Amino acid sequence: MAKELTDAGLSVLVLERGPARDTSPDFEFPRIADELKYAVRGDLWQPLAGETVTVRHRPGDTAVPYRQYGSFILGNGTGGAGAHWNGQQWRASPNDLRIRSVYEERYGKKFIPSDMTIQDYGISFEELEPWFDHFEKVTGVAGTAGNVRGRLQDGGNPYEGARSNPYPQQPLPPILSSQLFANAARELGYKPFPVPAANSTAAYTNPYGVRMGPCNLCGYCEGFGCFLYSKAAPQTTIIPILKGRRNLEVRHNAYVTRILLDSSGKLATGVRYIDANGKQVDQPAAMVVLASFQLNNVRMLLLSGIGKPYDPLTGKGVVGRNYAYQMVSSTTAYFDESVQMNPFIGAGAAGQQAVDEHNADHFDHGKLGFVGGAMIFAGATGGRPIVQMPLPPDAPRWGSGWKSAVRKHYAHSSSVATMGSVMSYRDRYLDLDPTYRDAHGLPLLRMTFDWHPNEYKMTAYTSARAAEIVRAMKPQRMAQHVLKPGDSYDVRVYQSTHNTGGAIIGTNPSNSVLNRYSQCWDVPNVFVFGASSFPQNIGYNPTGLVAALTYFAAAKIRSTYLKTGGLLVQA
């Protein structure tokens, strides 16, 4: 958005809540390849001592603070989580964007549970396709197209929506774990394809003139900045061309506390923030773009009094509504010592393989009794010895037995994962906590969330398909971690940083915070970008859809809003 709005000639001030960070010097090798500092202690993450969220399973419970990172990770500083993400970059499936309509048309209205609050985006895949395409070029995505202008292509994802162009780069060759997965999947009749990776295959120059370097599969992606300019972080793809722009200013360590409104409450006049010296500053603005992480976006709207807070008892209100997450499972294959995986060779997404037959509505749900699905994929992001040490469930947790198990399995195991969608429900939402406050005395965001029967059914089905593929890989043994009914949401275990909803896109002010151009219905000079706009979660990583929605809105802002002002869609 900073690029799009400065391109349009506006004077733009960026308020970054964290410190300044760039590839050099912050991500230089070898200092960045420090697993303890970054993957365990989270040097690039938001410090939870100053601000966190509180979590409870259901309305009426007492929420408690998320004090130690587990389930999801909050970015901090320039680039946010985009600096230390893995790089899987998916487009949404066309039927993800009109999910309620698809299921009602195919299975009938009674197929959707009465407490499930899923809804269509009000935006079609075809409208977003040019922006998916543009973002893939900006980030140099490596992959194999499955559907170019309606014609299916060998080796790609046959279930993807029609694309206008192939991926800008060819994928890296699959690593051994991915090869074994792909071979087994083909034997079972699936059509495996390379995971679309924002990890550059070769030297690449994007449409902005920014150069990226080839990924060397160093194994330090998630939790780490990329020292080779290979992973598509903001530092690698966009920020270099923004430096020196006279109509752009960036202030770091600026902690925004609220969006300021005029006496009518219908117009934003600026924002209030606490600067690096602890001084409170009121910054005037004609237009406010809220582009923080999903949870922080929702909290800022609630703190600012923009939009009616959601009430789960009445189902009325919109801010905080439709919070969702993802349900993942893993199936680990343990091979004999003649199968050398070389686990240190890995990347966030490069070299991975996936199948998409059981995602979205790519398969018949009629007799299965659930909504949604999962992408199934295999590969390795690295072999870091602290947090990437897969051991069988019966292996000792310490001592000589643990050491023996590590020696036996570290270089000879491989995991297959499912990335499952999660639907939205009436009793799963975000609001302000009545008890806990941040370091500045402001209420923390409270998360009310647990799994529903629909998701247990979904993960049981898709995980069984993953297990079939793993068995066809012919390991000596295998182990599976799948959530079952009775397993509550556990913040201690990492699952994904794919939190969604709370400030969702919709077709009218009664069912959404934002219109189709990510513009607040109630305060039209406020625009909100991020996965907070998703009405429910998908079975893919969210970054590609977040970016497409942002570029889609930016084009409308430039073509219409800057000339006319006001709502871009009439309620």
Collapsing DSSP to helix, strand or coil, 500 comes out as strand
The vertex-516 CA angle with 511 and 114, nearest 5°, equals: 30
Distance between CA atoms of 431 and 198, rounded to whole angstroms?
34
Residue among 465, 367, 365 at smallest CA distance from 419: 465
Given 134, 358, 412, 498, the catalytic residue: 498
Distance between CA atoms of 420 and 364, rounded to whole angstroms?
16
Element (H, E) at 103: helix 99-107
Across 528-549, b (16+ Cβ under 10 Å) vs e yields bbbbbbbbbbbbbbbbbbbbbb
Known active-site residue 498: yes
The DSSP 8-state label assigned to residue 95 in this structure reads: G
Distance between CA atoms of 135 and 122, rounded to whole angstroms?
21
Sign of CA dihedral 429, 69, 421, 477: negative
Distance between CA atoms of 211 and 392, rounded to whole angstroms?
43
Across 240-262, b (16+ Cβ under 10 Å) vs e yields bebeeeeebebebbbbbbbbbbe
Distance between CA atoms of 565 and 557, rounded to whole angstroms?
9
CB 512 within 8 A of CB 488: no
Helix and strand element counts for the chain (H, E): 13, 21
Q: What is the 3-state secondary structure (H, E, C) of 9-25?
A: CCCEEEECCCCCCCHHH
Give the C-alpha distances (Å, rounded to integers) separating 126 from 122, 167, 222, 226, 260. 12, 17, 31, 33, 36
Structure tokens that stand for 347 in this block:
């990347």
Residue among 93, 28, 78 at smallest CA distance from 540: 93
Residue among 335, 347, 263 at smallest CA distance from 305: 263
Per DSSP, which regions of 286-428 are E strands?
A: 288-290, 327-334, 353-355, 374-378, 413-420
Farthest-apart Cα atoms in the chain, separation = 73
Dihedrals φ, ψ of 535, to 5°? Answer: -70, -20
Sign of CA dihedral 378, 383, 384, 387: positive
Q: Environment class of residue 557 by beta-carbon count within 10 Å: exposed (0-12), middle (13-18) or buried (19+)?
A: buried
**Residues with catalytic annotation?**
498
